[in-house]
A and B are shown apart, each in its own frame.
Chain A
Amino acid sequence: QKEVEQDPGPLSVPEGAIVSLNCTYSNSAFQYFMWYRQYSRKGPELLMYTYSSGNKEDGRFTAQVDKSSKYISLFIRDSQPSDSATYLCAMSDSTSYGKLTFGQGTILTVHP
């Protein structure tokens, strides 16, 4: 079993839809949670960075962390064709310097 599980999709939605992306994890030591967006032939771009449980909002993006369930989510409101990309969840604990554990990535397509 992988430490971080992410549904690879692909996920296809119409423009304007609300998108929900999710990851589950097994390591209870994880405290830092991130979402990255990766366009084709590009490196991952940091979208959201949260510590411990709770919600964080940034524009159309909302990240949620539920440590009791070992479950994190990213919501995208009013999705746009430019949101079409692979979304990667990543997480780390407080002792493994620089080591992020990533999910497999979810491929999202937003069609006009």
Chain B
Amino acid sequence: ETGVTQSPTHLIKTRGQQVTLRCSSQSGHNTVSWYQQALGQGPQFIFQYYREEENGRGNFPPRFSGLQFPNYSSELNVNALELDDSALYLCASSLDRYNSPLHFGNGTRLTVT
């Protein structure tokens, strides 16, 4: 059984640029959620995708957007990067969109300079 994989593992961007992060869900999982984890903090919910549609969103501005593809892989896009966007971005997949346990990937470490 393949777990959740994310790419790239590390990324450095300049303020104002745009970034795309990628995630492959665990086999059999049709729901993906994205989280932002600042250093020394717990992860914060960005949004969830189910059947290619956004199914819930946390307190993040519209410049954070996502996509889910028919094979359940997903992308997180962040426009107009700010210094505070520097964080570990975690993707998690689950069996369904309700309260099935989330299984996380190892994240993408984004640094904005």
Residues of A within 8 A of B (CB): 4, 6, 8, 32, 34, 36, 41-46, 49, 88, 90, 92, 94, 96-105
Contact = CB atoms under 8 A, between A and B. Distances in A.
A49 B99 CA distance: 10
A33 to B, nearest CB: 11
A98 B66 CA distance: 15
Nearest to B57: A99
Contacts of B72: none
Interface of B: 4, 31, 33, 35, 40-45, 47-48, 50, 55-56, 58, 90, 92, 94, 97-99, 101-107
B105 to A, nearest CB: 5
B99 A92 contact: yes
B95 to A, nearest CB: 12
Among A4, A41, A44, A45: residue with most chain B CB under 10 A: A44
Given A46-B101, A102-B42, 16 more contacts: A6-B42, A34-B101, A43-B92, A46-B102, A46-B104, A88-B43, A97-B48, A97-B50, A97-B98, A98-B31, A98-B50, A98-B97, A98-B102, A99-B56, A100-B35, A105-B40
